[in-house]
Structure 1
Amino acid sequence: MSAWTQVPAVVERVEQLRQEYTAPEASLADLLCDRHPDHAVAVMLASGSGAVEALTYGALEDASRRMATVLADAGVGSGDRVTTLLGKSRELVVTMLAAWRLGAVYVPLFTAFSEPAVRERLTLARPVVAVVDPDQRHKMTIPDVLVLEPGDALSARIEAAEPRLADHVSAPDDPFIQIYTSGTTGRPKAVAVPRRALGAFVAYLEFALDVQRDDLYWNAADPGWAYGLYFAVVAPLAAGRRFVLSTTAFTPESTASIMRDRGVTNFAGAPTMYRAIKQQALELPRLRRASSAGEPLTPDVNEWAPAAVGCEVRDHWGQTEQGMAIGNCWHDELREPLHPRSMGQALPGFAADVVDGELVLDTHHSPLMWFTGYVGDPERTKERFGSDGRWYRTGDTAVRHGDSFSFHARADDVIIMAGYRIGPVDIESILVRHPLVSEAAVVGVPDEIRGEVLEAFVVLAHPPADDGAEADVARLSDELRQLVRDGYGAHAYPRRVHVVASLPKTPSGKMQRYLLRVDANER
């Protein structure tokens, strides 16, 4: 049994959420916007320069009703796809709500995508309308999509439009988002998110992140990806919580400035963000809660965080297909002591286990689980669920310790050397303890004797001086090998260490180790 099932108040709340968001008929616009007090602040649009715009639920309702009229006039109806290629902005939130008022399905695109990546997703989704920032317009290369650009002309159209009063009513299994997996292990797959997924989203906000009504919550993930869309925007809208959207790209300085100036009390971000802020030694406000997701959190962050921000950083695990399912909960009734490299316990609404070394979710005992398969792809769906559908196979390897789980690796990232199974995260967590290393990635490369051996790629906090640089790198390589011998085992040290300017990642921040394997094999 999952730990949360032993807490009656949590069990009761999970059932309340399940019932609320599986009601036979409901308006998404009402669930996410209209039912909240008009005067309450929904979103604060902030920049690192200090500019801020506060949008109330009343303002969002009016603007999205007018935008719904504009989209309807453009031919958008129930079941149609509407996409955006926008930065974090007022237009982004308004367009999503407007699409949902019409019963359309929202398809997010990320502004860091290349033109081929945008074209691939547009070809698969076939949207009717795309709302696109002017500097992204050159990526819209497929025909038969009406492109709207934010600016004076569109603002005037929206302002002049009559507010659409009739909202689409959906069933619990009706999709309202179609999002694509990040493609770390193959081509992106289409995931349809049904309305009932809101129960799982709000449960994560309440139990894992512990976002309270008086918090100012900032999830710095980009809404072009699942964690940002589900939990930086949709979940706080459903729960009626104030949240921040930063209109500027991430830098340690701008992030620290927004946190201080706006009074953020509850923050979530990728491990890379915490490490970058730590490296700059910036002054930060005292946070009530801090959380992490996207990649496993390395222990060095929590050696720094309590003194720097006033609390530890709690790591969580999830996927595009499920939202968040494992975590180190902040909620008072579920909070347990942190253990290094533990991603926590099954979150309320989910049950998990490890089968043949792979993390799986129990479909029979996960009342808030919502993913049932990939859009139009029965073969890949069967790979995930098997023939009987009992277990959802995550593709991640893990180790179970009682009720808790430790992430081991993506199934295709595990290194098998002379019969030993080595998770790259274990070694990477040791490498980043070196004061000169800001990031690290480890991969396995073929070896005639051992099957595979380890090679490491590291990004330096400070590049070596030109004079003596080769000697500095050689000395660093020796020190890193010794760190691994001392901290993990003599068998697992990296045979080669490569100093690189950056590590390949998806736009959502996930490490693409398969590209490093190609690089290592070509060296």
Structure 2
Amino acid sequence: MTQTAPAQHGADADVQAWLEIFGSPEADAATLLVDRHDPDSVAFVTVGVDGDELTTTNVTYGELAAQSRRLATALAGLGVERGSRVGVLMGKRTELVVTLLALARLGAVYIPLFTAFATPAIEMRLRGGDATVVVTEPSQAAKLEPIDGLTTVVAGEQFDSLVAQSDPIDRSVAVGGDGALILLFTSGTTGAPKGVPVPVKALASFVTYMRYGLDVSADDVFWNAADPGWAYGLYYGILGPLAIGRPNVLLQAGFTPETTAKVLTELGVTNFAAAPTVYRSLSKSSAVDGFGLRRASSAGEPLTPDVIDWAKQALGTEVRDHYGQTEHGMFINNHWADEVRRPLIPSSMGQPMPGFAAGIVDGQIAIDVPASPLMWFAGYLDAPEKTAARFTEDRRWYLTGDTGRVDDDGNFYFSARDDDVIIMAGYRIGPFDVESVLITHPSVVDVAVVGRPDDLRGEVLEAFVVVADGVVGDDALEAELQQLVKTGFAAHAYPRTVHFVDALPKTPSGKIQRFILRRQ
């Protein structure tokens, strides 16, 4: 059965209006993202960390517009033109945004490269996208040296000189709503990364999420802490804020609970979005001692119930879980906007967002494509077979590859990646259900559950557990954890073996790579 967002005339009208703007054949991404906004308005607040002190700098739309016009001219001089793909290997800095906008002015395509990548991962994405120009920063430039055939622009003296010495481009290229803006590669949770072309019309979906999923208001101090090298940070930390004209915070430092708490306090953040691992780390830290957040949202992996319970007092609000993928952005959410907000049900990821309809097909969470005007994914780059596997034969349904269920009230629940489901003696067990119990143990900092082949039962469960500092992972703790699952979830679903490890294998965006654990 297909489930749609609750009928709201205002939301439906908004979706239609945004589709007309961002999906227009004349859509010009640079105009839509920067030129149409008040040049004196703040677009981003960059935050540096100097010892115990934070330093903040406001970046206006006028500054972004002026610099991106000049950089577009410089990049054109390097051979970048409409349809060219350009890699961008930078952290959360102003030059990243300027580069994205300069490429949009040329009708070129931006390939985000996460700064934690090693050279082989970078090269795979550049080769896959047929990119020969890369814009980077000094701390990352050495990673590009072993890759043949690249032209690099490095933030700092070279970047600034190109901008200063170039005349502003006369006008931007309008590639239209179907024209590519981004080429983003999937995280590779279950296999090799795949290239996802993101068209300009996807901005309509991103704006809908900013409005109805996150409820970013004109009075909010908004901070999406996710890295722009990945979908959630790029879609809703860079593109979404630009499209709605609301500033985001760009923290130019690595994550620690202490720094995060300091930014939340000193900048007066009221609307916060981050990955579950951020909330989990904050919940284990003494640095968090009560905040006054208006909204808190999570995406990337399901939230465990203990984090939801902790947040109400520690953050001043509940954390609402949202669900999506690189291929289409967020589309099932515990929405924050008044018009579509429902009471939070722990472990539920919510209901379809306005502009989307969803259901369960062959056990998988699926998007009803004809009933989802905001669905923009058309296929992977140069991968027709992988694209076909994502859709039913009649192309009506997009299959996420994630198993789940939906209740009678239209609330969706995540179970597992389709190939992560454990079938033991005929029982289908989602790793998330068991992990949600194990993480409640005070000695457990992080956990992943996988299936292991078994001659008798088909599969049995094994857990990989990271324990807190000072805790010894021994037979006694293993027995405690097994009993915890028996009493907290189901007697048959306890892990037959508990492995105590220093860390779990994860993608750079924080998703557990269970396929690696299954090989061990």
Instruction: Please indicate the TM-score interval, normalised by the length of the shorter structure.
Output: over 0.9
Q: Distance in 2 between matches of 1:461 and 1:286?
A: 28
Corresponding residue for 2:113? 109
Q: Alpha-carbon deviation of 1:19?
A: 1.4
Residues 57-90 of structure 1 deviation map (CA, whole Å, 9 limit, x = unaligned): 1111111111111111111111001111111101
Q: Alpha-carbon deviation of 1:461?
A: 2.1
Q: Which runs of 5+ in 2 are unaligned?
A: none
2:385 is equivalent to residue 379 of structure 1: yes
Corresponding residue for 2:330? 324
Q: Distance in 1 between matches of 2:27 and 2:371?
A: 25
TM-score w.r.t. the length of structure 1 is 0.96
Q: Alpha-carbon deviation of 1:9?
A: 1.4
Q: Alpha-carbon deviation of 1:501?
A: 1.1
Alignment of 1:23-102 (within 5 A): 23-48=24-49, 49-102=53-106
2:260 is equivalent to residue 233 of structure 1: no
Corresponding residue for 1:360? 366
Query: Which residue identity is paired with 1:437?
Result: V
2:295 is equivalent to residue 289 of structure 1: yes
- Which of residues 396, 405, 413 is equivalent to 2:412? 405
SS at match of 2:341: coil
Query: Which residue identity is paired with 2:126?
Result: L
Corresponding residue for 2:10? 9
- Which of residues 143, 146, 155 is equivalent to 2:151? 146
Residues 189-248 of structure 1 deviation map (CA, whole Å, 9 limit, x = unaligned): 111011110000000110010001121111111111111111110001000011101111
Q: Alpha-carbon deviation of 1:284?
A: 4.9
Stretch moving more, 89-98 or 453-462: 453-462
2:342 is equivalent to residue 336 of structure 1: yes
- Which of residues 126, 132, 135 is equivalent to 2:136? 132
SS at match of 1:50: strand
Corresponding residue for 1:216? 221
2:252 is equivalent to residue 247 of structure 1: yes
Q: Distance in 2 between matches of 1:89 and 1:508?
A: 18
Q: Alpha-carbon deviation of 1:11?
A: 1.3
SS at match of 2:292: coil
Q: Distance in 1 between matches of 2:147 and 2:214?
A: 40
Contact in 2 for aligned 1:458/1:497 (Cα 8 Å): yes
Q: Distance in 2 between matches of 1:125 and 1:421?
A: 38
Q: Distance in 2 between matches of 1:5 and 1:255?
A: 35
Contact in 2 for aligned 1:296/1:341 (Cα 8 Å): yes
SS at match of 2:420: coil
Corresponding residue for 1:170? 175
Q: Distance in 2 between matches of 1:53 and 1:10?
A: 35
2:431 is equivalent to residue 430 of structure 1: no
Corresponding residue for 1:477? 478
SS at match of 1:16: helix
Residues 448-497 of structure 1 deviation map (CA, whole Å, 9 limit, x = unaligned): 11111111111112232xxxx4xx62221111111111111110011111
Corresponding residue for 1:187? 192
Q: Alpha-carbon deviation of 1:387?
A: 2.2
2:457 is equivalent to residue 450 of structure 1: yes
Q: Distance in 1 between matches of 2:390 and 2:263?
A: 40
SS at match of 1:335: coil
Corresponding residue for 1:493? 494
Corresponding residue for 2:209? 204
What is the RMSD computed on CA atoms of the aligned residues? 1.2
Residues 262-294 of structure 1 deviation map (CA, whole Å, 9 limit, x = unaligned): 111111111110011111122353111000000
2:511 is equivalent to residue 510 of structure 1: yes
SS at match of 2:390: helix
Query: Which residue identity is paired with 2:461?
Result: L
Q: Distance in 1 between matches of 2:164 and 2:56?
A: 22
SS at match of 2:284: helix
Q: Distance in 2 between matches of 1:284 and 1:518?
A: 42
Corresponding residue for 1:419? 426
Contact in 1 for aligned 2:4/2:357 (Cα 8 Å): no
Q: Distance in 2 between matches of 1:258 and 1:133?
A: 24
Q: Distance in 1 between matches of 2:127 and 2:395?
A: 30
Corresponding residue for 2:398? 392
Q: Distance in 2 between matches of 1:47 and 1:414?
A: 42
Q: Distance in 1 between matches of 2:48 and 2:419?
A: 39
SS at match of 2:210: helix
Q: Distance in 2 between matches of 1:174 and 1:142?
A: 29
Q: Alpha-carbon deviation of 1:386?
A: 2.9
Q: Distance in 2 between matches of 1:80 and 1:152?
A: 25
Contact in 1 for aligned 2:293/2:316 (Cα 8 Å): yes
Q: Alpha-carbon deviation of 1:144?
A: 2.4
- Which of residues 151, 155, 163 is equivalent to 2:160? 155
Q: Distance in 1 between matches of 2:161 and 2:88?
A: 19
Q: Distance in 1 between matches of 2:98 and 2:407?
A: 44
Stretch moving more, 421-430 or 157-166: 157-166
Q: Which runs of 5+ in 1 are unaligned?
A: none
